[in-house]
Amino acid sequence: MATKSAAAARQPLKILMLHGYTQSGNLFHAKSRALIKHIQKAFPLHDVSASYPTGPIHLKPSDIPGYEPSNASSVEPEETIEAYGWWRRSNSANPPLYSGIEDGLATVAKTLTEEGPFDGVIGFSQGAALAGMVAALLEPGRKDAFAHFEKGGEGLPYPASFSDAAGFSHPPLKFAVCYSGFRAPGARYRGFYEHPAIQTPVLHVLGSLDAVVDETRSRTLIHACVGNPEKDGSVVWHPGGHFLPSQRPYLDAAVQFIRKQEEKSNANGTSLEEEDVNDMVVPF
């Protein structure tokens, strides 16, 4: 009974985990295990949990970057592979169009409703781009931003799955952590990022050797966030490529950022006594 009482007294810390293009919820669970375990260890007085939805777009081999059919009669395009996305990028439009993004957002809205409320979101690559969008959508006044750009004839309407008419309700997120993130290109997606900029605190973790999402693309998301993220220490570089770094300094960076946002959101200005952030190695 004592164990149950102690567990019931712990403050929840729920994190939405959004996988990258060609991944799945299960695969991202495996790749982010070190990160989640580190967060759980750093927050022993919290009930830390993570949810891993899978994108609604089941990809074909031909959707995978670098795919080349072996011959004209190849059956590869008909193969079933465990690879998913939140949208497909259509380069036939200029700027590129995110085909199927409404379904991707609807999948997230469903998870937020059924498994929330969530405190924050962590995303990788395409999932990091989506994390920025979701954080923005949950901010007060974001509908007005979409209406502003839609009225100008260049923006998308506010996503139906996040609207009051759909019965959707979720508080703003306390934080977002974006690994190899980027901003959706072009005027049609400005509602996510402008009028105003993204207000939710975002930690950007980038690989200096990332050849998939280069620095220029990542900086578009950094610049879409309020304030000066680089000056504020909200941009962290690791000496690797397109992956979640599992070395201690970069795990500590995420933990310190999450703790900072948890403490800021505490209404009475107090925080639980947990691992001292001064004991952490942070690459700032």
Catalytic residues: 125, 210, 242
Displacement of CA 96 from its chain's centroid (Å) = 20
CB atoms within 10 A of CB 219: 17
Distance CA 109, CA 65 (A): 28
Contact 122, 253 (CB under 8 A): no
On whether the CB atoms of residues 198 and 140 are closer than 8 A, the answer is no
Name residue, tokens 């009028």. 195
Residue whose C-alpha is closest to residue 200's, from 16, 34, 12: 16
In the structure encoding, which two tokens stand for residue 158, read together? 């506010």
DSSP 160: G
Q: Round to whole Å and give the CA distance between 209 and 243.
A: 10
Question: Angle of helix 33-42 relative to helix 248-265, nearest 10 degrees?
Answer: 50
Length of the chain: 284
Determine the Cα–Cα distance for residues 46 and 129; give it in Å rounded to an integer. 27
Residue 32 CA to residue 52 CA, distance in Å, equals 10
Rounded Cα distance between 151 and 226, Å, is: 24
Q: How far is CA 135 from CA 3, 50, 116, 207, 280, in A?
A: 35, 16, 14, 22, 27
